[in-house]
Amino acid sequence: MPALLRTNKEIMEIYDRQVDTVYRVCYAYMKNAPEAEDMTQETFLRLMSNGKPFADQRHEKAWLIITASNLCKDTLKKWWRKNENIDDYTSLPQERTETG
Question: When comparing pLDDT for 40 and 1, which is higher?
Answer: 40
Q: Which of 19, 64, 20, 59 is nearest to 46 (CA)?
A: 64
Please give the pLDDT value at position 81: 78
Q: How many CB atoms lie within 10 A of CB 98?
A: 4
Please give the pLDDT value at position 71: 98
- Reduced to 3 states (helix: H, G, I; strand: E, B; else coil), residue 99 is coil
pLDDT at 5 over 80: no
* C-alpha to C-alpha distance for 88 and 65, rounded to whole angstroms: 34
Q: How confident is the model at residue 80 (pLDDT cuts 50, 70, 90)?
A: confident
- Reduced to 3 states (helix: H, G, I; strand: E, B; else coil), residue 96 is coil
Q: What is the pLDDT of residues 24-62, one digit of tens each?
A: 999 999 999 999 999 999 999 999 988 889 999 999 999
Tell me the domain boundaries of the chain.
11-74
Q: What is the pLDDT of residues 90-99, one digit of tens each?
A: 555 565 555 5
pLDDT at 2 over 80: no
